[in-house]
Structure 1
Amino acid sequence: MRRHTSTLVVLVVTAVLVMGTRGSFGLFIGPWEELFDSGRASVSLISAIGFLVYGFGQPTAGRLLERWPTRYVIGLGLGLMALGLGGAAMSTAMWMAILSIGVVASFGTGLASLSALSYVAGELVESKGGLIFGLLTAGAAGGQVIVLPIATAALNVSLRASLLTLAALAVAGAVVVLIKVPPLPTREATIGTTPISTMFRERRFWLLLIPFFICGYTTTGMIETHLIPFALDHHVAQTAASAALATLAAFNVAGVLIAGVLTDRIDRGKMLGWIYLMRAATLLILPFVTNATGLFVFGALFGVADFSTVPPTTSLTQTVFRTGGWAVAIGIISAAHQIGSAMGAWVPGVILETTGSYSMAFVSGSIALLVAGYLSFLLRESTQVTKPVSV
């Protein structure tokens, strides 16, 4: 592990940048509504389409990482992020923002996503996988603590300044990745890959995928997109709302580090089940929050159970498909997460415009999390799938 320390540091910093940038998009909903003279549901389409494209990018990254040098895949992703953010800064119409953020930047984040970075780390370090995945996820969660204040400060200047600042950070990240990340042996050349049809016949694949879909609906979709607009609707100041989201991210870091350590020590299925149930209970608090204090309390509680699902989910996927193809498997599972995120970004906006409140959206998320918890308890840690066939 020590000989790969510098590479792991670069991967963690990349996770900070990529996920911190994605977590900042909620800041732009209000300015986009004003700029494009559109409602919440319409502007939410930017995030919704972005989540879908981001999801498509992750299995694409998995396949590319099995064939191409790592630095090129991750570097390309960061480059596309910069291009999309720069394009969004110049957008004067909704379709331009959808193309720039929803398609170009989002596909780039898919190529440099947490699942892609986790695959690279997992191939570098064979032992203490849970801890490594926890550190990467902590970087992703901590990205909001670092990137969100930068984006917020730049937003005080203008929307364009904020987007261009994030684009510049992505360019810097791409340069570092291209210089510092070493190539990995291609998975195809060593032990082959599991055909997708075989993955789909594996029961535990679905017991991982469906809860992770619900995970995306309730976290990066619903909360990261709508928490700040929800707070502003209750007359909480923009700076306080951003600080509450940063608080959520800070507790997120603590949660995923604990989850990373526990992933190597306890039953991962039961662990996932309890995390989802804790998140379900916490989400029910949000309809009763009407001020900044309540928002900070929610952020702390929800943060502990936010990204903490990622280390055990990633570790279980690696175990189930350890003989090959887990880069694609975690990419598909993560894509399901992003489809859920797309629904979580769009549906609450529709519910708000229909009912005048986010309450039904939060309740629906809590019910879905109960289902995710139940399915996770059905997971059994046993043998991996049958030996894969090269394709």
Structure 2
Amino acid sequence: MTNRSSDLDDSRKKGAFYGWYIVAALFFASFLAIGLRHGFGVFVKTWEEDWGVTTAAISLAASIGVLCNGLSQPIGGWLADRYGGRPVLVFSLTVMALSTIAVSTVSSVFGLIILYGVLVSFAAGGVSHPAMAVVIARWFDRNRGAAMSILVAGGSVGGLVVVPFLSYALVEFGWRAAWVIIGLLALGFGVPLLLLIVRNKPSELGMQIDGEQHDESNRELPQSSAQYIGPDFVNKWHQALNSKPIWQLSFGYFVCGITTLAVAVHFVRWAVSEDITEATAALAFGALMFVNALGVLVVGVLSDRFQRKNLLGTVYLIRGLAFISLIVLPGDQAIWAFAVIGGMSWLATVPLTASLTADVYGVRNLGTLFGFANMSHQIGGAAAVLFFGWAFTRFGSYDIPFMVGALTLLAAGIVSLSIREKTHSVRYVQVIPEGTVGDESSLRDDR
């Protein structure tokens, strides 16, 4: 224990805040979890041929998986709020890894529904952004947007690396071996990293949020907004349901689910229907994730300086343009246009939505509230996965689903831009808690 304290003291002197090591560990967990789920679409055509089933049948398994994942996220978030993010993340990633390995044994859509649709997907809810956001919010205040963006970039890099890797493994070793390999990576590297690095909050290591030090000469002035409360902070999560921002954020996230999860499942299948090879489609999706990793980091930095709702609305509108490109451009051009335009917006909604939720309602119930937003995301995604599969089976084209996606993104952009951030966010309206100097003050920041 003495050695650990000494190491932490040294790291403080060198300016290395321990919270960034936690961000790195969560980055890798997100890399594995999201990379795997985005890689599902690589196997759709193979399963159709091996099992003699339709795209709609495989879509059912994926849709159930998305729904189970959505239902589990508020539970995982609530558990993280109550017991801390670390035990939730470790247990969930362990179960997810073992279930992923077990997927290699299935031989029917029913088996895929049980192992992937239920077990893998439900466990993934505990190693998703709500539980991770609880950890980040308790370690970071000033750089919360940047920290969340780095974490989310892990999912983007996961799509960049894992999806092409699964495509390669499918060709070289078969789909069963591909699932075993990714499951072993999560079990052998992801779980130990979470155990060794992640801590629930700074006080467990004798530290403070943002790595701040007590300054006895300046005790009267709070050092960050973590020492203030916002006008809409809640003690119980259900109190937030009486306010408008949670519904605006959840609607946007519902549309986000429609437009990301459906594409994650159907992108490769769409490409094949346009006479583009599976390998090229996987490469294009990887390129999308590469562009998104850069975009997420830029959005994270900007979100700590400008209104987050403006960035969020812009992200949805840009993604709408990406969906339009899939309809109006020839397939061989559309696939790369979508990779670039869609990549600029793909997971950028996550740090913005999580940070806005914390800004408006506080961090005490962040896991639960962001979990509900994620549940709306997954419900929208589950419905869209089914709809995209049905539409392609019925019409032989994805044009109608892509148009629906573009229209819903327009609506999400307008709703997000209408959020009154300067009225609800602690970044702009700050009330000093009772018992603190100036507890009757209200401080406004017109950034």
| Identical-pair percentage | 29
What is the CA distance between 1:193 and its match in structure 2? 6.5
What is the CA distance between 1:322 and its match in structure 2? 0.8
What is the CA distance between 1:323 and its match in structure 2? 5.8
Matched, 1:160 2:176: yes
What is the CA distance between 1:377 and its match in structure 2? 1.4
TM-score (norm 2): 0.82
Report what 1:306 is aligned to. 346
- Asked if structure 1 preserves the Cα contact closer than 8 Å seen for 2:66 and 2:117, the reply is yes
Report what 2:6 is aligned to. none
- Asked if structure 1 preserves the Cα contact closer than 8 Å seen for 2:70 and 2:125, the reply is yes
Report what 2:207 is aligned to. none
Distance 2:182 2:265 in 1: 17
What is the CA distance between 1:287 and its match in structure 2? 2.0
- Asked if structure 1 preserves the Cα contact closer than 8 Å seen for 2:164 and 2:279, the reply is no
- Asked if structure 1 preserves the Cα contact closer than 8 Å seen for 2:249 and 2:373, the reply is yes
Structural RMSD (CA): 2.0
Distance 1:163 1:302 in 2: 27
Matched, 1:215 2:290: no
Report what 2:185 is aligned to. 169
- Asked if structure 2 preserves the Cα contact closer than 8 Å seen for 1:138 and 1:253, the reply is yes
Name the aligned partner's letter for residue 90 of structure 2.
G
Name the aligned partner's letter for residue 195 of structure 1.
K
Report what 1:204 is aligned to. 245
What is the CA distance between 1:289 and its match in structure 2? 4.2
What CA deviation, in whole Å up to 9, does each residue of 1:319-361 have, x standing for no partner?
Answer: 1111621111011101111111112211111111121210000
For residue 250 of structure 1, the aligned residue among 290, 305, 314 is: 290
Report what 1:225 is aligned to. 265
Report what 1:332 is aligned to. 372
1:70/1:315 Cα in 2 relative to 1: closer, same or farther (>3 Å)?
Answer: closer
Report what 1:26 is aligned to. 41
Distance 2:58 2:92 in 1: 24
Distance 2:278 2:97 in 1: 26
- Asked if structure 2 preserves the Cα contact closer than 8 Å seen for 1:80 and 1:107, the reply is no
Secondary structure of 1:66's partner?
helix
Distance 1:36 1:84 in 2: 21
Name the aligned partner's letter for residue 383 of structure 1.
H
Matched, 1:9 2:17: no
Report what 1:35 is aligned to. 50
Secondary structure of 2:339's partner?
helix
Q: 1:226-241 alignment to 2 at 5 Å?
A: 226-241=266-281
- Greater shift, 176-185 or 237-246, is seen at 176-185
Q: 1:236-315 alignment to 2 at 5 Å?
A: 236-315=276-355
1:114/1:323 Cα in 2 relative to 1: closer, same or farther (>3 Å)?
Answer: closer
Q: 1:47-58 alignment to 2 at 5 Å?
A: 47-58=62-73
What is the CA distance between 1:4 and its match in structure 2? 2.2
Q: 1:354-373 alignment to 2 at 5 Å?
A: 354-373=394-413
- Greater shift, 322-331 or 46-55, is seen at 322-331
What CA deviation, in whole Å up to 9, does each residue of 1:118-174 have, x standing for no partner?
Answer: 221121122211111111111111111121222122111111011111111121211
What is the CA distance between 1:65 and its match in structure 2? 0.9
What CA deviation, in whole Å up to 9, does each residue of 1:155-205 have, x standing for no partner?
Answer: 11111011111111121211221232224379xxxx997434312111110
- Computing the radius of gyration from Cα coordinates, the structure with the larger value is 2
1:241/1:289 Cα in 2 relative to 1: closer, same or farther (>3 Å)?
Answer: farther
- Asked if structure 1 preserves the Cα contact closer than 8 Å seen for 2:135 and 2:200, the reply is no
- Asked if structure 2 preserves the Cα contact closer than 8 Å seen for 1:48 and 1:345, the reply is yes
Secondary structure of 1:306's partner?
coil
Report what 1:75 is aligned to. 90
Distance 2:303 2:197 in 1: 29
- Greater shift, 79-88 or 252-261, is seen at 79-88
- Asked if structure 2 preserves the Cα contact closer than 8 Å seen for 1:118 and 1:136, the reply is no
Matched, 1:125 2:152: no
Report what 1:103 is aligned to. 118
Alignment: residue pair count: 382
- Asked if structure 2 preserves the Cα contact closer than 8 Å seen for 1:275 and 1:305, the reply is yes
- Asked if structure 2 preserves the Cα contact closer than 8 Å seen for 1:114 and 1:140, the reply is no
Secondary structure of 1:266's partner?
coil
Name the aligned partner's letter for residue 239 of structure 1.
A
1:176/1:249 Cα in 2 relative to 1: closer, same or farther (>3 Å)?
Answer: same
Distance 1:347 1:40 in 2: 11
Q: 1:168-187 alignment to 2 at 5 Å?
A: 168-172=184-188, 173-184=190-201
Distance 1:291 1:90 in 2: 35
1:294/1:378 Cα in 2 relative to 1: closer, same or farther (>3 Å)?
Answer: closer
Report what 1:348 is aligned to. 388
Distance 2:84 2:311 in 1: 34
Distance 1:60 1:340 in 2: 18
- Asked if structure 2 preserves the Cα contact closer than 8 Å seen for 1:86 and 1:167, the reply is yes
- Asked if structure 2 preserves the Cα contact closer than 8 Å seen for 1:15 and 1:117, the reply is no
- Asked if structure 1 preserves the Cα contact closer than 8 Å seen for 2:252 and 2:412, the reply is yes
- Asked if structure 1 preserves the Cα contact closer than 8 Å seen for 2:59 and 2:386, the reply is yes
Secondary structure of 1:67's partner?
helix
Secondary structure of 1:301's partner?
helix
Gaps of 5+ in 1: none
What CA deviation, in whole Å up to 9, does each residue of 1:44-75 have, x standing for no partner?
Answer: 01111111111112111111112324332111
- Asked if structure 1 preserves the Cα contact closer than 8 Å seen for 2:130 and 2:368, the reply is no
What is the CA distance between 1:87 and its match in structure 2? 1.9
